[in-house]
Structure 1
Amino acid sequence: MRSQDVASGVRTFGIEEEYLLLDAEDGMPVDLAAALIRTLPWQQERADREFFDSQLETSTHVCHTAAEALSSLQSFRSEAAGAAAEHGAVVAGTALPPVGGDQVGTITPKLRYRILQAEMREAGAYHYASGMHVHVGVPSPDVGVEVLARLAPWAPVLLAMSANSPIWNGQPTGFASWRHLMGQHWPIAGYPPEFASADEYQHTIDQLVGSGVLMDKGVVTWVARLSERYPTVELRIADVQLEAEDAVAFAVFVRAIVDQCLVDVEQGVSRPNLTPGLVNGAIWIAARYGLSDQLVDPLLAERLPAFDAVARAVDYAARSLEQSGDRARVDEWIDRMRTGGTPAQRQVAQFDAGGITALLALYRDGTQKADGGDGEASADYA
């Protein structure tokens, strides 16, 4: 995959989404992923089961435009939602099930997952976490390492903008992203440390695997990493989104930030000087509050209103957003969150108003209202 389209000058990207399959009556996780995949003939190359059989995963093809990504996600969500409804289930764009998370999940019958469950023990028994991963093409692993170091100051605000797991086991957690907290169970977690080069990055991964800390290279659970399969930087910090429109807006925003990081590399701008521990502490604050309060800017080590932090990120990415034609889309997405609430706030409001029934209606709306696409996108990210 080329990191940049030569004709348009716009960097390529792709999106992975993981959905939860919930019972349409009581909201409990249901093991339907394998059955749904069998009933979606043209989607089978794009669909897979995740760690649990109550999780359904898809990925876009390599995209150049937001419209391509939106068509891909909307078509999949729409068809999957229709098939799930026939089984009495809901395809839910929420990063944790609102109820039933205290029930041991059914491991997808893949040898790798079974080994992983044995390694994780109780920490993996309730791992319903469902995220959205954004891949952005980079020219080389060495450049990718530079991007990881320069993306770090923006990680907290990116989590705050995408937080969508506020309810767990039938009650609000007080966190906008409880999924992020659950992610701390993994042997390595949070934002990765800085690396001088791709060789140092790879040596670190080899040591983690060789020592037995990690089962394999696929279990690099930092919230950002270099992809093992593609020439991309992979941002894994986001919760899966309620609606495809928000997922795509987030993805092109990430692409624009990464693109500006690459411009900084080309222009010889120094890496940001970050206090150790401050990035992960700021990410924790972002998981707690989302955009409802203040965030911490890890570059300046100061607290500021959440939407002021968003504005700083938009200013940083402005040139790339204008070049790709995505500025209006991102601005509209941010305005929707400012006036109508973030995904996490919308979930809590629905739960307060009508409990699990109201939440299920919100989840349905995020998938069933999607327009069907042509169904021809292929899964180039996994």
Structure 2
Amino acid sequence: MAADTPAPPRFGVEEEYLLLDATTGLPRDGADGMIAALPGLRAEHEYFHSQLETATPPCTRAAEAFDSLAEFRTAASRAATDRGLVLAGTGLPPVGGDAPGRVTENERYREIDRTMRGMVHRYYSTGTHVHVEVPSRDAGVEVFARIARWSPVLVALTSNSPIWLGGDSGYASWRYLQLQQWPSSGYPPSFADAAGYDEVVQQLVRAGALLDTALVNWSIRLSEKFPTIELRTADAQLESGDAVSFALIFRALAHRALQERETGAPVPEYQRDALRGAHWVAARNGLGSELVDPESGAPRAAAEVVADLLSHVAESLEAAGDLERVQRFLERRLADGGGAALQRRAWQRGGIDALLELYREASSADSMSSSR
């Protein structure tokens, strides 16, 4: 990286988890007790009482994010075991998703429940959200356009919700398909600047399609609270180490896009429906077969598309000291097929009992330390 090239931006990771009954695998309320048992570890409520959330502080290095999430998972996994629960890093509950969840006692959540009605009564969607710092909101919406073509492969890399209502959904990320119900969903349209972004969001609020400007559910959005862009496509991950490695890839994509902005490189155009189709293919296939080539739009082997992604961000990863870690992560994902494939194999081997054991092992300290 040249001396005058901006350093890779800071980033943060939000991890959400499901709380599942250790015997039945059904979602079970337990967030209040879990939060009380985890003082000082940034444990927070999510939409349902059967969900839990944490977040890293703003991070410069991968180790900072990993240490924050690993500390939380180790403590939370133990607290869950003590309460007859399993802390599950999965995008959806494999069983029990047909039962309405109990909404957290929060005025905004209650308003979402009232406004969105039956769409959120069983909204167990549990994800990994990544924030990356940007110099301005205008820069943020330009990053959206510059990384759009790579967004589908990010879905494939993090697909981790294949089992739904006690059976194989046929999709690597059934959660991603469920997200498409929201009034603002999928990859956002192209905007000339942040003012254009804000105007569309305000139109959705005025129309009553959004409760407020913070409820934007595009795959990537401007944060309402922080000077960041936020990627929301990823399912919750089996291991925190995988969530961190994924975050490093997204940071590298944003870093390269910001460099291109500084040099005045042309902003790529994309056709939104074609991009939507590429995301659908990624959510269906995961890493198991083919993805859509970011350049040609034609089907290509997933391994080849992943290799192209790595080549695209290698310089930015190298600048941050993250290249070897991400290389190891991608090699392992291609070898094991990713979280969706691991869950499918466990389900086929032993049903819900095998899945619960997979979730337990993935949240253990030994498993996470091997992901460094």
TM value normalised by structure 1: 0.93
Identity of aligned pairs, percent? 47
Aligned to 1:380: none
CA contact (8 A) 2:241 2:368 kept: no
In the TM superposition, structure 1's runs of 4+ consecutive aligned residues that sit over 4 Å from their partners are 370-373
Aligned to 1:38: 36
Aligned to 2:9: 11
Are residues 1:283 and 2:279 paired? Answer: yes
Pick the aligned partner of 1:23 from 12, 21, 24: 21
Q: For residues 132 and 215 of structure 1, what CA distance do their matches in structure 2 show? A: 23
Aligned to 2:335: 339
| Mapping of residues 295-374 of structure 1, within 5 Å | 295-369=291-365
Partner deviation per Cα, 1:90-138 (whole Å, 9 max, x = no partner): 1000010010001111111111111101111111111100000010110
TM value normalised by structure 2: 0.96
How much does 1:371 deviate? 8.5
Aligned to 2:248: 252
Aligned to 1:156: 152
Q: For residues 123 and 67 of structure 2, what CA distance do their matches in structure 1 show? A: 29
- RCO greater where, 1 or 2, for CA within 8 Å and sep 6 or more? 1
Q: For residues 354 and 367 of structure 2, what CA distance do their matches in structure 1 show? A: 22
Q: For residues 367 and 10 of structure 1, what CA distance do their matches in structure 2 show? A: 29
Local SS of the residue matching 1:235: strand
Structure 2 vs 1, CA of residues 160 and 244 (structure 1 numbering), >3 Å: closer, same or farther?
same
Q: For residues 5 and 63 of structure 2, what CA distance do their matches in structure 1 show? A: 17
Partner deviation per Cα, 1:288-342 (whole Å, 9 max, x = no partner): 0001111112442211111111111111101101101111111101111122221
Partner deviation per Cα, 1:2-52 (whole Å, 9 max, x = no partner): xxxx99923100000110000001100010011110111222xx1111111
**Runs of 5+ consecutive residues of structure 2 not aligned to the other structure:** none
Local SS of the residue matching 2:81: helix
The one-letter code sitting in structure 1 at the alignment partner of 2:35 is I
Q: For residues 317 and 285 of structure 2, what CA distance do their matches in structure 1 show? A: 26
Over the aligned positions, Cα root-mean-square deviation in angstroms equals: 1.6
Are residues 1:268 and 2:264 paired? Answer: yes
Pick the aligned partner of 1:211 from 197, 207, 211: 207
Between stretches 305-314 and 362-371, larger displacement belongs to 362-371
| Mapping of residues 111-150 of structure 1, within 5 Å | 111-150=107-146
Structure 2 vs 1, CA of residues 65 and 21 (structure 1 numbering), >3 Å: closer, same or farther?
same
Aligned length, in residue pairs = 366
**Runs of 5+ consecutive residues of structure 1 not aligned to the other structure:** 1-5, 374-382
Structure 2 vs 1, CA of residues 49 and 129 (structure 1 numbering), >3 Å: closer, same or farther?
same
| Mapping of residues 235-250 of structure 1, within 5 Å | 235-250=231-246
Are residues 1:185 and 2:181 paired? Answer: yes
Pick the aligned partner of 2:63 from 43, 57, 67: 67
